[in-house]
Amino acid sequence: MILSYTIVFLSLLLAGLIYYRLARQFGIVDKPNSRSSHSATTIRGGGILFPLAVVFWWMSYDFQNTWMVLGIVWISVVSFLDDIYTISRKLRLGIQFLGLSMAFYDLGVFDQESWWALPVLYFVALGVINAINFMDGINGITGLYGLVFLGSLLAVNIYMPIFSESLIRYVILALCVFLVFNFRKDAKMFAGDIGSISLAYLIIYFLVQWYLSAHTWTIVLFLLIYGADSLITFAHRLFRRENVALPHRTHLYQILANQVGIDHVTIALIYSILQFGLNFFLFIYPQAIPEDLFGFGILVLTAVVYSSIKIPLIKKYEVYQN
| CA–CA distance, 173 with 179 (Å, rounded to integer) | 10
Phi-psi region for residue 28, left (φ > 0), alpha (ψ -120 to 50) or beta?
beta
Higher pLDDT, 204 or 319: 204
- Minimal CA–CA distance to 19: which of 177, 199, 193? 177
| CA–CA distance, 314 with 194 (Å, rounded to integer) | 31
**Domain around 224:** 2-321
Question: Are the C-beta atoms of 305 and 176 separated by less than 8 Å?
Answer: no
For the chain, what is the mean pLDDT? 94
Question: Are the C-beta atoms of 224 and 237 separated by less than 8 Å?
Answer: no
The string of pLDDT tens digits covering residues 139-181 is 999 999 999 999 999 999 999 999 999 999 999 999 999 999 9
For the segment 54-61, the average pLDDT, to the nearest whole number, is: 97
Percentage of the chain surpassing pLDDT 70? 97
The pLDDT value given to residue 129: 95
| CA–CA distance, 119 with 128 (Å, rounded to integer) | 14
The pLDDT value given to residue 28: 93
| CA–CA distance, 124 with 112 (Å, rounded to integer) | 18
Strand 42-43 vs strand 29-30: parallel, antiparallel, or unpaired? Answer: antiparallel
Is residue 80 over pLDDT 60? yes
The pLDDT value given to residue 321: 64
Question: Are the C-beta atoms of 53 and 173 separated by less than 8 Å?
Answer: yes
Q: How many domains does the chain have?
A: 1
How does residue 37 score in pLDDT terms, banded at 50, 70 and 90?
low
User: Can you tell me whether residue 192 is helix, strand or coil?
Assistant: helix
The pLDDT value given to residue 241: 87
Is residue 39 over pLDDT 80? no
The string of pLDDT tens digits covering residues 102-128 is 999 999 999 987 888 999 999 999 999
Is residue 191 over pLDDT 90? yes
The pLDDT value given to residue 31: 80
The pLDDT value given to residue 322: 55
- Which residues lie closer than 8 Å to 150 by C-beta, 6 or more apart? 168, 171, 172, 175
- Which region among 183-187, 196-200, 243-247, 269-273 has the lowest average model confidence (pLDDT)? 243-247
